[in-house]
Protein backbone atom coordinates (compact mmCIF):
# COMPACT_ATOMS: atom_id res chain seq x y z
CA UNK A 1 0.00 0.00 0.00
CA UNK A 2 1.46 3.33 -1.08
CA UNK A 3 1.52 6.08 1.51
CA UNK A 4 -0.06 9.42 0.63
CA UNK A 5 1.78 11.30 3.37
CA UNK A 6 4.87 12.27 1.28
CA UNK A 7 2.63 13.68 -1.45
CA UNK A 8 0.67 15.74 1.05
CA UNK A 9 3.89 17.02 2.59
CA UNK A 10 5.13 18.19 -0.82
CA UNK A 11 1.81 19.97 -1.43
CA UNK A 12 2.09 21.56 2.02
CA UNK A 13 5.58 22.88 1.22
CA UNK A 14 4.38 24.31 -2.10
CA UNK A 15 1.36 25.98 -0.45
CA UNK A 16 3.55 27.56 2.24
CA UNK A 17 5.99 28.82 -0.38
CA UNK A 18 3.10 30.34 -2.32
CA UNK A 19 1.84 32.16 0.79
CA UNK A 20 5.34 33.43 1.55
CA UNK A 21 5.73 34.72 -2.02
CA UNK A 22 2.33 36.39 -1.72
CA UNK A 23 3.48 38.12 1.47
CA UNK A 24 6.71 39.35 -0.15
CA UNK A 25 5.11 40.43 -3.45
CA UNK A 26 2.27 42.33 -1.83
CA UNK A 27 4.58 44.76 0.03
CA UNK A 28 2.73 44.39 3.31
CA UNK A 29 3.63 46.36 6.40
CA UNK A 30 6.59 44.82 8.24
CA UNK A 31 4.58 43.98 11.37
CA UNK A 32 1.86 42.27 9.32
CA UNK A 33 4.50 40.48 7.25
CA UNK A 34 6.15 39.06 10.39
CA UNK A 35 2.76 37.97 11.76
CA UNK A 36 1.77 36.28 8.50
CA UNK A 37 5.13 34.54 8.13
CA UNK A 38 5.04 33.24 11.71
CA UNK A 39 1.44 32.04 11.23
CA UNK A 40 2.49 30.16 8.08
CA UNK A 41 5.40 28.53 9.90
CA UNK A 42 3.24 27.47 12.85
CA UNK A 43 0.60 26.06 10.51
CA UNK A 44 3.30 24.29 8.50
CA UNK A 45 4.80 22.68 11.62
CA UNK A 46 1.40 21.62 12.97
CA UNK A 47 0.28 20.00 9.73
CA UNK A 48 3.70 18.36 9.23
CA UNK A 49 3.55 16.77 12.68
CA UNK A 50 -0.10 15.75 12.18
CA UNK A 51 0.75 14.02 8.91
CA UNK A 52 3.63 12.24 10.62
CA UNK A 53 1.12 10.37 12.77
CA UNK A 54 -0.14 8.53 9.70
CA UNK A 55 3.11 7.00 8.55
CA UNK A 56 2.46 3.38 7.54
CA UNK A 57 4.85 1.94 10.09
CA UNK A 58 3.01 3.65 12.95
CA UNK A 59 -0.53 2.49 12.08
CA UNK A 60 -1.98 -0.93 12.85
CA UNK A 61 -5.54 -2.27 12.45
CA UNK A 62 -7.94 -2.83 15.35
CA UNK A 63 -8.53 -6.58 15.88
CA UNK A 64 -12.27 -5.94 16.41
CA UNK A 65 -13.30 -3.54 13.62
CA UNK A 66 -10.21 -3.14 11.40
CA UNK A 67 -9.88 0.63 11.93
CA UNK A 68 -6.32 1.91 11.57
CA UNK A 69 -4.96 3.13 14.89
CA UNK A 70 -1.68 4.69 15.94
CA UNK A 71 0.53 2.28 17.88
CA UNK A 72 0.50 4.52 20.96
CA UNK A 73 -3.29 4.22 21.41
CA UNK A 74 -4.81 1.80 23.91
CA UNK A 75 -8.48 2.16 22.77
CA UNK A 76 -9.79 2.03 19.18
CA UNK A 77 -11.15 5.37 17.98
CA UNK A 78 -14.04 3.72 16.08
CA UNK A 79 -15.35 0.84 18.22
CA UNK A 80 -13.78 1.87 21.57
CA UNK A 81 -12.47 -1.67 21.96
CA UNK A 82 -9.27 -2.40 23.85
CA UNK A 83 -6.23 -2.59 21.62
CA UNK A 84 -3.54 -5.16 22.32
CA UNK A 85 -0.29 -3.90 23.77
CA UNK A 86 2.47 -3.70 21.19
CA UNK A 87 4.57 -6.81 21.45
CA UNK A 88 8.31 -6.60 21.30
CA UNK A 89 9.79 -9.39 19.23
CA UNK A 90 11.51 -11.88 21.47
CA UNK A 91 14.81 -13.16 20.12
CA UNK A 92 14.78 -16.86 19.55
CA UNK A 93 17.19 -18.87 21.60
CA UNK A 94 19.90 -20.13 19.28
CA UNK A 95 20.09 -23.89 18.92
CA UNK A 96 23.51 -25.26 19.72
CA UNK A 97 24.92 -26.53 16.43
CA UNK A 98 27.66 -28.57 18.11
CA UNK A 99 25.13 -30.72 19.92
CA UNK A 100 23.26 -31.32 16.64
CA UNK A 101 26.39 -32.45 14.82
CA UNK A 102 27.46 -34.75 17.68
CA UNK A 103 24.04 -36.40 17.70
CA UNK A 104 24.15 -36.88 13.92
CA UNK A 105 27.66 -38.35 14.10
CA UNK A 106 26.66 -40.78 16.86
CA UNK A 107 23.56 -41.86 14.92
CA UNK A 108 25.59 -42.40 11.75
CA UNK A 109 28.27 -44.36 13.59
CA UNK A 110 25.62 -46.40 15.34
CA UNK A 111 27.06 -45.86 18.79
CA UNK A 112 25.21 -45.49 22.03
CA UNK A 113 25.30 -43.15 25.00
CA UNK A 114 28.84 -44.24 25.91
CA UNK A 115 30.10 -43.19 22.47
CA UNK A 116 28.33 -39.85 22.84
CA UNK A 117 30.09 -39.35 26.19
CA UNK A 118 33.44 -40.21 24.59
CA UNK A 119 32.83 -37.71 21.77
CA UNK A 120 31.92 -34.93 24.19
CA UNK A 121 35.07 -35.45 26.30
CA UNK A 122 37.46 -35.54 23.34
CA UNK A 123 39.10 -32.53 22.04
CA distance 58 to 63: 16
Helix (H, G, I), strand (E, B) or coil at 68: strand
- The pLDDT value recorded for residue 2 is 53
Q: Work out the angle at residue 32's Cα, subtended by the Cα atoms of residues 28 and 36, and round it to the nearest 5 degrees.
A: 100
103 pLDDT more than 80: no
User: Can you name the residues that pair with 82 across neighbouring β-strands?
Assistant: 75
Which helix (H) or strand (E) segment holds residue 23: the answer is helix 5-25
CA distance 6 to 33: 29
Mean pLDDT of 24-48: 75
Q: pTM of the prediction?
A: 0.31
Amino acid sequence: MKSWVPTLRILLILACLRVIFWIVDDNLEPSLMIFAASAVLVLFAAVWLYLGRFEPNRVFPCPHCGQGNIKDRRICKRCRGRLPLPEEPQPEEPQPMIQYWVEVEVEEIGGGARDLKNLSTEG
